[in-house]
Amino acid sequence: MKQVRTPIGRRLGSLAFGAAALLAGTTCKRPMRTEVPGVWDDFVDQNESSAMDEFAPRWPAPTVTALEDGLLTVWLNEPETPALHVRIAFATDGISAEITAVILAMLRQDLRDRLEPLGITVNSDHGPGRIEFGVHGHVDQLRDVTEALTAVVSATDSGTKLVSARDQLAADLDMPVSVELAIATLIQALVPSPTALYVRGSTLEDLLRPALVSGWDRATDPRNAVLVIHAGISAKQGQDDLQRLGAAWKGRGRRKAGPSTFERLREPVVSTKTKDTFLSGLAAPALLTSSTEAMGGGVVAFGRMIRTATATERAMARLAQRVAQEQFDARLTISGDQSLFMVIVPLEEGHADRELVQAVAAFSAFIQQRQPRLRLQQATQLWLGARVVEASLNGEDWTHLWMEAFDLSTQEANIPTAIAQEAEAMLAIQPDALQEWQMQWLDPREGEPGWSWAIAGASARTLEQVSLVVKTAPAP
């Protein structure tokens, strides 16, 4: 799914289950209840076989190797391509958002200082339960990349650079954004975490050097990481550079190396149960209220966890979100057999109670509608086509698609075909099946229980108005 890169020093939200993607936005943001132009019918062009080849190219079998230090490497060979893409992913399970933010900033800056003078670009990304760094250059620069990575992650004393990154982040942090704070609060309710899900300046400033170093040692343990390489040379041709990396980069902890990408990067998800009522129809707890001091005014986020154990269920969730986002700010993060769906509702002071009731009612009514086949086909092709275009603009970076495929998979063997399976499943979805699925999982009033919601950035007056129609409670 699309992960929009947001400067982490300024508006960093949750780095827990999918929140980074959600905070940045997994969809085009549109005003609530925008009318969709056009007349829809069920006439469909059935020539979809060629679309599969265009929307979901299949990879050749990767070469997977564990290095001497336990680092898991995945080599994707595209013969004769001159480009080199290297992506390193670190698991962040159990590491606070503040420490993760410092580590991300420090690694990104250090890698850029070493590689950008050589014409090699570096970008950072994040997914459910992990942070990533993408490095892009020419295939002849593989040694430059591995040497820079070795120097950064195997440094004997990273404390000084971590403290410097902490201070820079604390100086750059501004007032939190309402939507990000509302989403972080909602995710904490849906997927409880022992650590805070939002970076706060005061907490950041209180981080001491030993805590930063401890988090660094855990996050950058090679037994806790996965390296994905896309190059025109084979894994055998690049093995000398990788072996040097494995010999120099040693983990400082006692973590047992997981034998697969899933055991290293897939964070277990345990969702909560809900008991109370929401607007006299939705099974959900009280509306969680967060800070009133935030940019953007009052924002409500309501959402739920969805079971997505099969490619068809993941395709249903994807297509439902793509159609809903034409009228609502609906967001989705897929992580294997558990996915997170939410809707964002901005509130205006003076009419907050009425707006909230109308927004939930409008979304519930929309979810119950049967969408014509043509509309579903067009939404599917727009989404799949956009992913192809994005991949092209990113220089055909297979490592980015590999991590996206990882999020779409429930086991290691499915990763090479996950994107193709999703495309095939989306193209095959019928209107009646989607309507039935939506009414079960996405109808907040009459569907399965499991919804939660949160509000942030609302003034005292707005909170007073909202409390007229729903019970409220302060966020933990």
| Domain boundary assignment for the chain | 19-48+268-474, 62-175+188-265
Averaged pLDDT score across all residues of the chain: 82
User: How large is the C-alpha radius of gyration of the chain?
Assistant: 23
Selection from 413, 430, 454 nearest residue 198 by Cα: 454
What topology is assigned to 62-175+188-265 in CATH? Cytochrome Bc1 Complex; Chain A, domain 1 (3.30.830)
Q: Copy the structure tokens of residue 220.
A: 């950058």
The type of residue at 475 is A
Share of the chain above pLDDT 70, in %: 81
Each residue's pLDDT tens digit, 151-192: 998 877 788 999 999 998 888 777 788 998 999 999 988 887
CA dihedral 236, 261, 100, 13 (to 10 degrees): 120
The domain 19-48+268-474 belongs to what CATH superfamily? Metalloenzyme, LuxS/M16 peptidase-like (3.30.830.10)
**Contacts with 281 (C-beta within 8 Å, 6 or more apart), sequence order:** 444, 445, 446
Selection from 431, 405, 398, 403 nearest residue 311 by Cα: 405
Residue 331, strand partner residues: 342
**Contacts with 132 (C-beta within 8 Å, 6 or more apart), sequence order:** 87, 88, 89, 90, 124, 125, 126, 403
> What is the pLDDT confidence band of residue 297, given thresholds at 50, 70 and 90?
confident
* In the predicted structure, residue 88 carries a pLDDT above the cut 70: yes
Q: What is the predicted pLDDT for the residue at 436?
A: 97
For residues 25 and 331, the answer to whether their CB atoms sit within 8 Å is: yes
Q: Do domains 19-48+268-474 and 62-175+188-265 have the same CATH topology?
A: yes
> What is the pLDDT confidence band of residue 49, given thresholds at 50, 70 and 90?
very low
* In the predicted structure, residue 281 carries a pLDDT above the cut 90: no
Q: What is the predicted pLDDT for the residue at 47?
A: 45
Alpha-carbon distance of 59 to 234, in angstroms, equals 14
* In the predicted structure, residue 316 carries a pLDDT above the cut 90: yes
Selection from 263, 458, 219, 428 nearest residue 348 by Cα: 458
User: What is the bridge-based pairing of β-strands 472-474 and 329-335?
Assistant: unpaired
